[in-house]
Amino acid sequence: MEKISLVVSGVANQSNPESPAYTLILSEKNGVRKLPIVIGLSEAQAIAIQIEGLIPVRPLVYDLFFSIAAAFSIDVIEVVISNVDHGIFYAEIVCCTTGSSEEDFIRIPARTSDAVAIALKFSCPIYTYEHVLDKAGFEWTAPGDDSFDSPKLEGIPLRELKDMLKKAISREDYEFASKIRDEIAGRNQ
């Protein structure tokens, strides 16, 4: 089966206060299809941290996995979203010890949200198969489709934004912290 390369477009809040959930949006690297995957808050925060390049106050489980892998010379080669069944996605983390050949690769089953967070942490590619995109993907060709609206922070003074950023990071609200950081960066340009 031929693998299709995906990139992370972002994480969107589903805005349902009764059942807070987020949608991870993966985009076909050389195409127009999107693959939306519903994920939880902690996974959304972990993915947002990696996308935005933030450093958490305390290490997250993905940081711990990265450190353990480095200590034991384990490389994460790729992440593959291998199947979707009744709305549940299945993924594998493909890894090996340093210097192993392809026949020595180990495939570890994982939740898709965890696998994507690990892929971002290790800077490794994310793949899926045609049958997964056929079942759960959709085409999106609107201009600017990869951008997500930033919060309305324009009227807040820069000093207050910097204080808000510190507080958001200390609360480990990394999604909001990344939006504040983007607003500050935009003003500094």
Amino acid, res. 111: R
Domain definitions of the chain by residue range: 3-148, 149-189
Mean pLDDT (whole number) for 42-63: 89
| Whole-prediction pTM | 0.73
Q: Which of 62, 69, 58 is nearest to 47 (CA)?
A: 62
C-alpha torsion sign, points 169, 175, 176, 181 = positive
Does position 175 have pLDDT exceeding 50, yes or no?
yes
Helices marked H in the chain: 41-52, 61-71, 112-122, 130-136, 158-170, 174-188
Q: What is the pLDDT of residue 85?
A: 93
Q: What is the pLDDT of residue 147?
A: 43
Q: What is the pLDDT of residue 186?
A: 81
Which CATH code fits 3-148?
Answer: 3.10.690.10
Q: What is the pLDDT of residue 167?
A: 75
Query: Alpha carbon of 173 to those of 123, 162, 180: distances in Å?
Result: 23, 14, 11
Strand partners, 22: 13, 39
Q: What is the pLDDT of residue 183?
A: 81
Q: What is the pLDDT of residue 70?
A: 94
Does position 114 have pLDDT exceeding 90, yes or no?
yes
Q: What is the pLDDT of residue 149?
A: 43
**Contact (Cβ atoms closer than 8 angstroms) between residue 78 and residue 115:** no
Which tokens go with 35?
């693959």
Tens of pLDDT, residue by residue over 121-149, are: 999 999 999 999 999 988 875 544 444 44
Distance CA 153, CA 6 (A): 31
Does position 45 have pLDDT exceeding 60, yes or no?
yes
Distance CA 41, CA 69 (A): 25
